[in-house]
Structure 1
Amino acid sequence: MSLTASRAALRDRWPLLAVLALQIGLAYLLANTAFEDEALYLYAGHRELAFLLHHTPTYDSYASYFSGAPFLYPVLAALVDGALGLEGARALSLLFMLGATILVWMTARRLYGRQPAIVAAVLFGVSAPTLFLSRLATYDAMCVFLLAVALWLVVRLARANPAWVLCAAPVLVLAAATKYASALYLPTVVVAAALTVVAAGGSWARAAVRGGLLAAATVGLGWAALVAWPSLRQGLDQTTVNRATGAEPLANILRLSAVWGGWIAVLAVVGVVVAARSQSPDRPRLPGTLLAAALTVTASFATLYQAHLGTSVSLHKHVGFGLLFAAPVAGLGLASAARLNTARAVPGFALGVCVLLAFYANHAVTPMYGGWPDSSGEVSALRPLVGPGSNQRYLVEENEVPRYYLAARTEPYEWLTTYYFQYTTKSGTSLTGLPAYRAAIHDGYFNLVVLDYGPTAALDRQLKAALRADPAGYRLVASVPGRTSHGTQTYDIWQRVS
């Protein structure tokens, strides 16, 4: 490429580079120790990797309860974590989300032009869900990136032979395998595969063939994957298909959805109106409107799914999946509202809105990222208390985090939890629940007991009473504070006396 061409390419793409720099800067304002899910997936990845390389037992059936295939993202992230630690694994997520922002730019540019693409990249790249996922070492960032790849492929190949759409099928299946809940968004890509053909001037028959090919290939590959790895079916059923429901008020789910992505959804609705009023010889009005509407409606999928489940757990992450599809249409809406044209740069109005939303997103995401405790004090206090030896047992309410940080000093089977426990007494009686914990404490079964009065707070208080009842058996060695954005959580660490 000549110097002149390089300069022209740089001038053309400098707004995208600025957005990516802003996304990186805002993401790295977020800091905390490992989240429970991060610790779980990275630890599982190391166990899966050890099994693949050395046939070391995992001591757990991750496929039975993970919301994605444990041999995909967890193994990839574990490789990075092994070389660069948690920050390296989080940087991997950032790279995935930067890639998604670039693909939003490319998709929007092909659909609506350069100016809407600039706005779409800003809206998506600095949204609260995007910033959150950019600093979270979980499945989500990889899955969003794969969905972005699939959407770009169907848009990019709209004028090509319909058979080329099959390139998107393995990407969609890989996205669904990475995180099962992403299957919710596969129909949108199929619909987009069909409508982009007609929007580009092709026939409805050609569109139907293209959409049908992609749907059939995706279903076929997905079925083949479940046949090849039947162990994934239990996790798919437990975490996605028949996930346990809650009773959280619908109003709260709607409010949180509005906080995390409502403004992009509103701008996307404006974009649908703009698409409906636009018409040119090579862009028929109806298919363009239907395409914009399909992408916009997708922004509501996470809210509808969580409302069906009656819970807002993970809503702040799942909203970001829908924003990926709505952002190009939102870019069209805001660009049109700002009266952009192909000969002008982004005017002050659009720039001001984007900057305002960036600050809003940072303000919204910071408390959420600090919502889990800083575990550095807990891990430091536990480090000298754990180590090699026979019959080491550590009862920790949320043991994923210390287990991850102390993996070099402990074994997976040494960690027990307050969510479920079965114990056989010296007389041979099998117990579960509170009686099992009390009997085990009475027998000095645990080397350490760590209570943080979180999800199993009621049980924790009963266990604390049992530990206090026999001071000759256990002693409180530390009460370690764990700072969060909404207060301080205390870890009470009890150690067996002898």
Structure 2
Amino acid sequence: MLALQAALSLRLSNTAFQDEALYLTAGHAELSRLLHGTPQPINYAAYFSGSPQLYPVLAAVVDGRFGLPGARMLSLSFTLGTTTLLYCFTRRLFDERAGLAAAALFAVLQSTVVMGSFATYDAPAMFLLSLTTWIVVRTAQAPAPAVLLAAPVAALAVGVKYAAGLYLPTIVALALLTAWPHHGVKAILRPVLLILGTGCLLALSMGGTELLAGMQQTTTNRQHGSDGALSLLQQSAKWGGLLFLTAVSGAIAYARRSSLSESPLTTPLGSSGRGWRTLLGLLLCATALLAPSYQVYLGTVVSLFKHVGFGLLFAAPMAGVGLTRLVGAHFRHPHFGIALWTAALCLGIAQSDWRFGRWPDSTTMIRTIASDVNNQGRYLSSTPEVPAYYLRHKAGHRQWQSGFGMEYTNRNGTRYTGDEAYRAALRDDAFDLIVLDGVTNPRVDRVIADAVKSNPHYRLLAHLPFNVSSLRGDSLLPTAPKTKDNGRYRIWVKQ
């Protein structure tokens, strides 16, 4: 299963996505600050959705030695570790067959496959959540203080990615449920200790720092978007609906009958009663709804495909139960299980292919602009993170301006914001190089392109065609176009 998961992730190929480029660039800047005292070009902590001192630094160390493929391999190692830990704690909750089935379904999810080839902090955060869950389940029979072993791992998970905190209540509840059959009422002490331990560590690490401001800006007080609730629910169902429905069926079957093993000598953990089994099923299945519900509240589809995977990590054990019940004792109906897993595999392959084709290959663009970039100029780009990463030895991150908002003050002291800021800056020849892709933010790109064309001091350097997947992606199995160029880089330089 792990070999298949690795193969599915390793087959994905594209140049750096803007998030990958941003985190790796930030990691290199943090390394330079730590090793040489170099001032930070940008205050990353104020707007990152995870601590820039954690994953970005680790990824930058790997990137410095092995490049982007090495950083992506680091993510793959984390996702493989997540699948392994999922198998381990599912086996302890239920049995061997459920553990294998849960791992098999989770390994082929779009979220799992993509995060295994994506140099962002999602993969390590998910690994740390799965490690926290395994510790909680593994220490269920131990004395209550043993649960404190999970506290530093849980705190680290939140530090790596603030949104991981959304799943801590599930882990706390799991600490109570898994210990209840062994300790009864005394099990209540375990979640209390876990909350206190994790809370104290988070307070010590984030109190009085800019990390708290970053958490508020990107997670707790995030700006609401305009994506519709129905569209977000449809996307969530497309990316994780099959596993979720399997988990729900498993929860129902488990609540009705606790025995999961073909051996009559096996005593399942759920022997404490139907109420306990029902609560466990509800907890694990409901966790899969947290990310879609929160993003419906925020009205944004940004990162939804990854966040869905976090919730499905907790629903996967019940999906494993559902798959084993579908197959039946003594593998009575193996064809049902094979059909279900094959459907999950086909969805994972098609959706991950589409996901990795959503952004253009920047190889030719970087090669084209490399000779025009130096440490003195100012540059405007639809996705400045990408050239800032690939050309970081030629120009600093602060020299690049994005198409997602700008402030500009001209020579007379007049201040402009938004679209007018781009127009005023281009009237004043403020940028030495302009790179537009027409895909990332088409409206602003049109504003910039019109302003550039009306300025005779800029000349068009190149038109570079590229392919991207359909931006709609409404079908269940979206595919990227194979032959037709459906996008282009437009590059201008100041004469």
Q: TM-score, normalised by structure 2?
A: 0.91
1:33 aligns with 2:15: yes
Instruction: State the 1:273 CA deviation.
Output: 1.6
Matched, 1:349 2:347: no
Partner of 1:4: none
Selected match of 2:195 from 215, 218, 227: 215
Query: Equivalent pairs: percent with the same residue?
Result: 43
CA–CA distance in structure 2, aligned partners of residues 259 and 268 of structure 1: 15
Amino acid at match of 2:280: L
Does 2:313 correspond to 1:312? no
Q: 2:272 aligns with which of 273, 284, 290?
A: 284
Find out whether 1:273 has 2:252 as its counterpart: yes
Greater alpha carbon shift after TM alignment, 431-440 vs 184-193: 431-440
Aligned CA-pair RMSD: 1.8
For residue 484 of structure 1, give the secondary structure of its aligned residue in structure 2.
coil
2:461 maps to amino acid: V
Label 1:315 to 1:433 Cα distance change in 2 as closer, same or farther (>3 A). Answer: closer
Structure 2 CA distance for aligned equivalents of residues 346 and 143 of structure 1? 37
Residue 455 of structure 1, CA deviation: 4.5
Amino acid at match of 1:308: Y
1:16 paired residue number: none
Displacement of 1:95 in angstroms is 0.4
Displacement after TM superposition at 1:468 (Å) = 2.0
State the Cα distance separating 1:345 from its structure 2 match.
10
The Cα shift of 1:108 comes to 1.0
- Does residue 409 (structure 1) correspond to residue 409 (structure 2)? The answer is no
> Could you say which residue in structure 1 is the equivalent of 2:240?
261
Question: Of 316, 327, 331, which residue of structure 2 is paired with 1:327?
Answer: 316
Match of 1:3 in 2: none
Q: Which residue of 1 aligns with 2:126?
A: 144
Q: Which residue of 2 aligns with 1:9?
A: none
Alpha-carbon shift at residue 452 of structure 1 (Å): 2.2
- Provide closer, same or farther for how the CA distance between residues 370 and 349 of structure 1 changes in structure 2, counting only shifts above 3 A: same
Q: Residues 403 and 346 (structure 1 numbering): CA distance in 2 closer, same or farther, change over 3 Å? A: farther
The answer to whether structure 1 residue 393 and structure 2 residue 390 are counterparts is no
Structure 2 match to 1:244: 223
What is the rounded CA distance, in whole Å, between the counterparts of 2:301 and 2:423 in structure 1? 34
Q: Distance in 2 between matches of 1:146 and 1:345?
A: 37
Distance change (3 Å), C-alpha of 1:210 and 1:345: farther
Give 2:459's aligned residue.
475
**What is residue 206 of structure 1 aligned with on the other side?**
186
Q: How does 1:83-232 map to 2 (within 5 A)?
A: 83-199=65-181, 201-203=182-184, 205-227=185-207, 230-232=209-211
- TM norm structure 1: 0.91
One of 473, 482, 493 as aligned partner of 2:491: 493
**Distance between the aligned counterparts of 2:231 and 2:327, measured in 1?**
32
**Contact 1:115–1:340, Cα closer than 8 Å, also in 2:** no
Instruction: Name the structure 1 match of 2:361.
Output: 374
Taking a change above 3 Å as real, the CA distance of residues 202 and 39 of structure 1, as seen in their structure-2 partners, is: same
State the Cα deviation string for residues 69-97 of structure 1 (Å, max 9, x = none).
01001111111111111111000010000
Q: Residue in 1 aligned with 2:32?
A: 50
In 2, the alpha carbon distance for the partners of 1:322 and 1:49 equals 32
2-structure distance, mates of 1:317, 1:196? 27
Is this contact kept in 2: 1:90–1:135, CA < 8 A?
A: yes
Distance in 1 between residues matched to 2:342 and 2:402, nearest whole Å: 45
The alpha carbon displacement at 1:333 in A equals: 1.2
Letter in 1 for 2:79: M
Deviation at 1:424, TM superposition (A): 3.3
1:9-45 CA-to-partner distances (Å, cap 9, x unmatched) read xxxxxxxxxx001101111221111111000000000
Which residue identity is paired with 2:139?
L
Residue 361 of structure 1 aligns with an amino acid whose one-letter code is G
Q: Show CA shifts across 1:93-147 (max 9, x none).
A: 1000000000111111111111111111101111111111111110100000000
Which residue is equivalent to 2:292? 303
Deviation at 1:436, TM superposition (A): 3.5
TM superposition outliers: structure 1 runs of 4+ over 4 Å: 279-282
SS at match of 2:329: coil
Unaligned stretches of 5+ residues in structure 2? 259-266, 471-484
Aligned 8 A contact 2:59 2:119 in 1: yes
Change (3 A) 1:429 1:248: closer
> CA-to-partner distance for each residue in 1:345-383, whole Å, 9 max, x for gaps?
993432342233112211122111211111112111111
Residue aligned with 2:465, SS: strand
2:24/2:60 contact within 8 Å kept:
yes
In the alignment, the residues of structure 1 paired with residue 254 and residue 314 of structure 2 have an alpha-carbon distance, to the nearest angstrom, of 15
Deviations 1:401-459 (A, max 9, x none): 11111111112222122333333333343333444433332332211112223444333
Q: Which moved more, 1:107-116 or 1:272-281?
A: 272-281
Residues 435 and 271 of structure 1, relative CA distance in 2, 3 Å threshold: closer
1:70 aligned to 43, 49, 52, which one?
Answer: 52
Query: How far 1:266 moved relative to its partner?
Result: 0.9
Instruction: In structure 1, list runs of 5 or more residues that go unmatched.
Output: 1-18
